[in-house]
Amino acid sequence: MIENIIKAYNEAVYETDKEAAFDVVNSALAQGMSAEEIIFQVVIPAVEEMMSLIVKDPDANLAQHFMTAQIAAEVTEKMLLLFESPPEIIGCIVMGTAAGDLHSLGKRIVMGCLKALMVEVIDLGVNVTAEKFVDEAVAHNAQVIGISAMMVHTAMGEHGCPEVRKLLKERGLEDKIKIIVGGAPYRYDEELYKKVGADTWARDGVSAGKVIVDLIKEVKSHVTA
């Protein structure tokens, strides 16, 4: 049974057919699968498979990335309501678009994937100041700050990532909070993330999920060491 459910769900996600994906999930519930089994045996493996496909084909359709991430997020939210006990959240990230930047599509793709990977996401919106990134990260005990920028001047702007790095350093938080950046400027210059003071970057919204999970684990292992 589980093999057929996985196959049907993956096909629905690949075709970005949300209705079909929910039909598969509802059928799985009717056949006796628990919400926990659906998340950990169907949804999360599908997200991870999507990540591996992106690595092989980085030019894959952006709209498909967005829809598959949204489907994963919506299915996850529905299943979480049916969990017998609250799932273990592996960590937290605060995310936003850099000061002066109003683009949000890439950020929304990342958020969809992270919800399915059991990462708490605090969405700060667009045009976010450096102070707000750091203040909200501290307030939510986040291990990671995610900064999206679609223009070079907002990626390198003094009120963006460089200022976030400065604030983390001043407050002694560099070991407790890591910075990931993403957006078009970083794809054109793969060393740009270093120039703006980030710890790492992600080429696209889907692969960012794994990078962020790894950052969370790095911070947690350092804190408990």
Summarize pLDDT for 42-81 with one digit per residue, the tens: 888 887 777 666 656 655 556 667 777 788 888 888 888 8
Same domain, 211 and 106: yes
pLDDT of residue 117: 84
Whether 86 maps to a domain, the answer reads: no
Cα(100)–Cα(105) distance, integer angstroms: 16
Q: Give a yes or no: residue 28 inside a domain.
A: yes
Residue ranges in the chain whose pLDDT is less than 70: 51-64, 102, 104-106, 205-206, 223-225
Residues 40 and 20 both lie in one domain: yes
pTM of the complete model: 0.77
pLDDT score at 40: 85
75 and 147 assigned to the same domain: no
173 in the same domain as 115? yes
pLDDT of amino acid 225: 55
Same domain, 128 and 188: yes
Would you say residue 45 lies in a domain? yes
pLDDT at 53: 65
Q: What is the CATH number of the domain that holds 35?
A: 1.10.1240
pLDDT of residue 177: 97
Kindly state whether residues 208 and 110 are assigned to the same domain: yes
What residue type is 203 in one-letter code? R
Does residue 137 sit within a domain? yes
Note down the domain range covering 204: 91-224
CB contact set of 155 (below 8 Å; sequence gap of 6+)? 98, 149, 161, 181, 183, 185, 186, 192, 196
What separation in angstroms does the CA of 48 have from each of 21, 54, 97, 101, 212? 16, 10, 25, 29, 13
Number of domains within the chain: 2
